[in-house]
């Protein structure tokens, strides 16, 4: 009785990957859903190739009841397993057969059943309200490893197969969607069976189906691909903007990748309950409603922009991720880094006036902040266990991943194309298009590793990129480059930048770019060791004696105007620390308006990070910020506002006596922008003005600028009386709601009550979101507590709690912390240990918690929290979080 030998099954436990003696070729999946009982049952027939004779078949399954199993070989012999072992620790299903299955093809049939998940993963239940009645719908979210919660499968990205999906017992009035078009519908009374066409080969994490109540609109691409957007009933017009973006993006990518869209149709669905932002399922992209629905009255410029970036990101995945898929989750960044990068490229093509590439700088900053934590991880990371894959969906893969791609392309482009005036986007576009098209063609319908991409890029560019890039993708962290100027020589030194100082061990090959006094004078080189020198006497023509005057005074004047900017255009993923002399010259160049917005952004961002890491004094930072007083460019102003907010937050605990002076300084710094922009859009003003107006007014309201707050409250009161007033345009609403809440307290609740009423009446999801975001900004902790309890009520959807948590006031932090501890069990029960739970930690467990003697680690022992949350909590406990 060999099969009872536990050793034999033990061999499959604790393994990161499934054994490959049998691999799937085709899934024929039938699912019957009971929306009222919140359960499902199904059968799957899996066409297999047995590659080695085996007594075991090992696949993935989780929280499923396995009913019946049989294997039919190519001789039509039926084998019934003598043992069926479900191992929930390793999330595997082991089928043990008395006799070995021979090499060859066969079909594995499995009957199974399970509950619809309550926590938005696997095959899950969502709710929506129709005609005042709350109803159930069902949708899937399989990435990364939750297809196994819906049906037994080889749940690994490299084990691609075709899928034929059939949905049984779908209520007649509901819409059923899947990756492929419907091939047949059979009606039986009030129910229908929906058959979908066979898919091309794809990974399990991209399989999807949705059963719900929707209206839709549709359009076609120039090559005849039908694109549809499914919206809540009665709101199909709100899908128009996303539909336009998707159709244009499909046309653009088809040319860009030199490869047609691989499927016959693309559907995009606004799912009423959704854990993340969107999911790129092959041919059936699912979205959180706020990321797909758009209406001119309620969508702010920031909403519109976010929507375009999310749609172009998900559509890019249809090639980058779905057609060419990472070989294993270690290479997830190939999916996310590239989709992120390409989404900016597409958005820039569709909306050039948004100057989206300068906004990409915020992406780099996000990556730099996350990667300066000691708890960071490399872009490419070993996966010890399938479940730990979820930890990888963080800023490192998306933000650092896309940033190092941008750095690499700038580096290759410069050297290969010898471009004297490098227009980054243009030559990236040409290099990228060739390289990416070649990569997509070589690996279409297959899987790829990071090395595969490097070799295509090396082939196309003639530059060996492996040795440079391995240091950036296999090693966590990044360098800060310290620069000193002495006698026409720039001296460079690299050290690893950590949020608490410059003392890490790492070393990189760094593409350094230098501009000297003008963007025409540029020098590039690779810093391959810890130290480097650059003689700039020949770059600074006036220093080499060509000037006919030797007067020392003239020379000094020239020197003062001669600014040196390292990391030109901020294309590199590193920080720069200038010596005092170079800092003073840059400061002067900023005042004289001689630097590009990207460089002005970078100087400020680096200075702030160095200040946080105690490598620069706060007074030096403030003095530098003062040089930005006349700044009106969106991306630079937005950075100033962001730094003001962060400094204000930290200073409440660190130097409470100076808070009011600091706030006044910040108000003076941004007041000019607010005066230029006013409260209402002027006719024909650009997108970036709308973005800036929203941010400037919000900052002024937050810093307590009384004129701004009073004006906002006045406009809100007018709006309460007259809903058609033009005095409350969408881009000033956030600032208005924050002002209203700043005037609210237990003794004066009117503002809060009015906003609650607004929330209940609002129909547009983005308006609801905006109100939720502002409510907890109230300075009265008792109101904050009321708001938190409101978040737990039935009036706020499970997925929307993140917005309410986002804006908790500094005065409300301690109350929120006590509330979190008291409600922990209820929170865990309602949201499960998934993505949304991390928001609770992130929003409430912030560094100042330390000053209140909070010990967030107390939560961990009882919660079984995922590793990311633990990482966050450890960071807070050790006082080394990004904002502290
Ligand atoms: Zn993505």
- Tens digit of pLDDT for each residue in 817-846? 888 888 888 888 888 776 677 778 777 775
What are the structural domain ranges in the chain?
1-212, 214-319, 326-472, 479-626, 674-872
Note the pLDDT of residue 554: 64
Q: Tell me which CATH homologous superfamily contains domain 214-319.
A: Neutral Protease Domain 2 (1.10.390.10)
The pLDDT confidence band at residue 111, using thresholds 50, 70 and 90, is very high
CA distances from 134 to 126, 137, 447, 757 (A): 10, 10, 43, 20
Interatomic CA distance for residues 85 and 821, integer angstroms: 39
Ligand 1: centre distance to CA 867 (Å): 21
Find the radius of gyration of the CA atoms of the chain: 29
Q: Which of the two residues, 139 and 875, has the higher pLDDT score?
A: 139
The pLDDT confidence band at residue 546, using thresholds 50, 70 and 90, is very low
In DSSP terms, 501 is beta-bridged to: 498
Interatomic CA distance for residues 527 and 825, integer angstroms: 52
> For residue 169, is pLDDT > 50?
yes
Interatomic CA distance for residues 561 and 559, integer angstroms: 5
Interatomic CA distance for residues 200 and 518, integer angstroms: 54
Ligand 1: centre distance to CA 314 (Å): 6
> For residue 114, is pLDDT > 90?
yes
CB under 8 Å, gap of 24 or more: what pairs does 80-89 form? 81/57, 82/3, 83/3, 83/4, 85/9, 86/61, 87/12, 87/13, 88/62, 88/63, 89/13
In DSSP terms, 89 is beta-bridged to: none
- Looking at domain 1-212, its CATH architecture is Sandwich (2.60)
Q: Which of the two residues, 3 and 56, has the higher pLDDT score?
A: 56
Ligand 1: centre distance to CA 313 (Å): 6
> For residue 849, is pLDDT > 80?
no
Note the pLDDT of residue 159: 97
User: What are 434-444's pLDDT values in tens digits?
Assistant: 777 888 889 99
Domain 326-472, classified CATH 3.30.1540.10, yes or no: no
Average pLDDT over the chain reads: 88
Ligand 1: centre distance to CA 737 (Å): 32
Q: What is the pTM of this model?
A: 0.90
The pLDDT confidence band at residue 429, using thresholds 50, 70 and 90, is low
The angle subtended at Cα 84 by Cα 78 and Cα 85, nearest 5°, is: 155
CATH topology of domain 479-626: Immunoglobulin-like (2.60.40)
What are residue 88's phi and psi, to 5 degrees?
-80, -20
130-144, 645-659, 707-721, range with the lowest pLDDT = 645-659
377 labeled part of a ligand binding site: no
Which residues in 221-283 belong to E strands, given as ranges? Answer: 226-231, 265-271, 278-279
Note the pLDDT of residue 854: 43
| Domain 1-212 shares a fold with domain 326-472 | no
Residues 792, 828: contact at Cβ < 8 Å? no
Ligand 1: centre distance to CA 210 (Å): 20
Cα 307 to the center of its chain, rounded Å: 13
Residues 145, 91: contact at Cβ < 8 Å? yes
Interatomic CA distance for residues 802 and 773, integer angstroms: 9
Ligand 1: centre distance to CA 312 (Å): 10
Note the pLDDT of residue 611: 94
Interatomic CA distance for residues 287 and 275, integer angstroms: 9
Percent of the chain exceeding pLDDT 90 equals 66
314 is an active site residue: yes
User: What are 494-534's pLDDT values in tens digits?
Assistant: 999 998 877 778 999 999 999 999 999 999 999 999 999 99
336 labeled part of a ligand binding site: yes
Residues with CB under 5 Å of ion ligand 1 are 336, 339
Interatomic CA distance for residues 455 and 246, integer angstroms: 31
Query: Whose CA is closest to 326, among 338, 315, 311?
Result: 338
313 labeled part of a ligand binding site: yes
Read off the tokens for 30.
């039938």
Interatomic CA distance for residues 397 and 473, integer angstroms: 10
What is the torsional sign of CA 296, 300, 305, 310? negative
Interatomic CA distance for residues 849 and 401, integer angstroms: 31
> For residue 746, is pLDDT > 70?
yes
Note the pLDDT of residue 73: 95
Q: Which of 91, 156, 314, 758 is catalytic?
A: 314
Average pLDDT of the segment spanning 665-690: 93
- Looking at 1.25.50.20, 1.20.140.10, 3.10.250.10, 3.40.50.300, the CATH number of the domain 674-872 comes to 1.25.50.20
Percent of the chain exceeding pLDDT 70 equals 90
List % helix, strand, coil for the chain (3-state, nearest 5): 45, 25, 30
Note the pLDDT of residue 505: 85
Note the pLDDT of residue 5: 53
């Amino acid at each position: 009785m060999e099969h009872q030998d536990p050793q034999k099954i033990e061999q499959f436990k604790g393994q990161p990957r499934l054994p490959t003696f049998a691999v799937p070729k085709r899934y024929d999946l039938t699912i019957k859903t009971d929306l009222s009982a919140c359960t499902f049952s199904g059968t799957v027939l899996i066409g297999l190739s047995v590659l080695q004779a085996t007594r075991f078949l090992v696949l993935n399954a989780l929280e499923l009841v396995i009913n019946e199993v049989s294997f039919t070989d190519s001789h039509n012999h039926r084998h019934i397993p003598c043992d069926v072992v479900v191992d929930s620790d390793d999330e595997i299903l082991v089928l043990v057969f008395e006799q070995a299955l021979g090499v060859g093809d066969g079909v594995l049939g499995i009957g199974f059943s399970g509950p619809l998940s309550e926590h938005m993963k696997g095959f899950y239940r969502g709710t929506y309200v129709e005609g005042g009645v709350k109803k159930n719908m069902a949708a899937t979210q399989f990435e990364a490893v939750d297809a196994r919660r819906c049906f037994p499968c080889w749940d690994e990205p490299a084990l691609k197969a075709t899928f034929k999906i059939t949905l049984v017992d779908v209520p007649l009035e509901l819409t059923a969607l899947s990756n492929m078009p419907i091939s047949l519908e059979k009606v039986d009374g009030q129910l229908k069976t929906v058959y979908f066409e066979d898919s091309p080969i794809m990974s399990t994490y991209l399989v999807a189906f949705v059963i719900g109540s929707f209206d839709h609109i549709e359009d076609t691409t120039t090559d005849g691909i039908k694109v549809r957007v499914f919206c809540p009933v009665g709101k199909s017009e709100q899908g128009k903007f996303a539909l336009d973006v998707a159709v244009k993006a499909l046309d653009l990518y088809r040319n860009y990748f030199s490869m047609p869209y691989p499927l016959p149709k693309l559907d995009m669905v606004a799912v009423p309950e959704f854990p993340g932002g969107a999911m790129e399922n092959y041919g059936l992209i699912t979205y959180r409603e706020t990321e797909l629905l758009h209406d001119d009255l309620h969508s702010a410029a920031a909403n519109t922009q976010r929507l375009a970036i999310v749609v172009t990101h998900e559509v890019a995945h249809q090639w980058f991720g779905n057609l060419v898929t990472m070989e294993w989750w270690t290479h997830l960044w190939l999916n996310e880094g590239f989709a992120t990068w390409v989404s900016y490229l597409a958005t820039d093509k569709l909306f050039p006036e948004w100057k989206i590439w300068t906004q990409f700088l915020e992406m780099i900053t996000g990556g730099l902040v996350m990667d300066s934590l000691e708890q960071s991880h490399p872009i490419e990371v070993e996966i010890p266990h399938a479940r730990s894959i979820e930890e990888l969906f963080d800023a490192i893969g998306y933000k650092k991943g896309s940033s190092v791609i941008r750095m690499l392309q700038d580096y290759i482009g410069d050297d290969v194309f010898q471009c004297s005036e490098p227009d980054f986007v243009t030559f990236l576009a040409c290099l990228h298009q060739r390289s990416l098209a070649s990569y997509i063609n070589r690996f279409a319908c297959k899987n790829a590793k990071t090395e595969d991409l490097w070799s295509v890029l090396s082939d196309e560019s003639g530059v060996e990129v492996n040795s440079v890039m391995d240091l950036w993708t296999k090693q966590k962290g990044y360098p800060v480059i310290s620069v000193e100027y002495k006698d026409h020589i720039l001296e460079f030194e690299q050290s690893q930048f950590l949020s608490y100082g410059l003392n890490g061990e790492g070393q990189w090959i760094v593409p350094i770019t230098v501009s000297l006094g003008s963007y025409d004078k540029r020098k590039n080189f690779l810093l391959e060791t810890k130290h480097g020198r650059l003689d700039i006497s020949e770059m600074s023509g006036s220093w080499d004696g060509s000037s006919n005057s030797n007067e020392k005074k003239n020379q000094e004047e020239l020197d003062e105007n001669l600014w040196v900017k390292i990391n030109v255009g901020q294309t590199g993923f590193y920080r720069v620390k200038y010596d005092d002399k170079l800092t003073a010259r840059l400061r002067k160049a900023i005042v004289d308006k001689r630097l590009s917005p990207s460089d002005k952004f970078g100087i400020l961002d680096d200075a702030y990070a160095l200040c946080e890491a105690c490598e620069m004094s706060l007074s030096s930072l403030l003095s530098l910020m003062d040089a930005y007083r006349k700044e009106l460019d969106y991306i630079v102003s937005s950075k100033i506002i962001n730094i003001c907010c962060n400094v204000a937050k930290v200073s409440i605990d660190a130097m409470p006596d100076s808070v009011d002076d600091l706030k006044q300084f910040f108000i003076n710094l941004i007041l000019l922008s607010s005066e230029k922009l006013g409260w209402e859009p002027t006719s024909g003003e650009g997108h970036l003005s709308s973005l800036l107006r929203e941010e400037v007014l919000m900052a002024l309201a937050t810093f307590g600028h009384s004129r701004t707050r009073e004006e906002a409250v006045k406009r809100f009161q007018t709006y309460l009386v007259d809903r058609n007033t033009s005095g409350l345009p969408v881009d000033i609403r956030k600032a208005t709601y924050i002002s209203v809440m700043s005037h609210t307290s237990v003794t004066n609740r009117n503002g809060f009550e009015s906003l609650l009423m607004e929330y209940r009446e609002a129909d547009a999801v983005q308006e609801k979101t905006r109100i939720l975001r502002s409510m907890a900004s109230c300075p009265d902790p008792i109101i904050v507590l009321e708001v938190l309890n409101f978040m737990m009520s039935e009036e706020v959807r499970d997925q929307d709690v993140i917005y309410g948590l986002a804006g908790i006031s500094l005065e409300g932090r301690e109350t929120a912390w006590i509330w979190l501890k008291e409600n922990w069990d209820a929170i865990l029960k309602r949201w499960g240990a998934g993505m949304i739970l991390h928001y609770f930690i992130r929003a409430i467990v912030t560094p100042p918690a330390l000053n209140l003697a909070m010990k967030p680690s107390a939560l961990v022992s009882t919660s079984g929290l995922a590793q990311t949350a633990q990482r966050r909590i450890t960071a807070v406990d050790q006082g080394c979080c990004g904002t502290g």
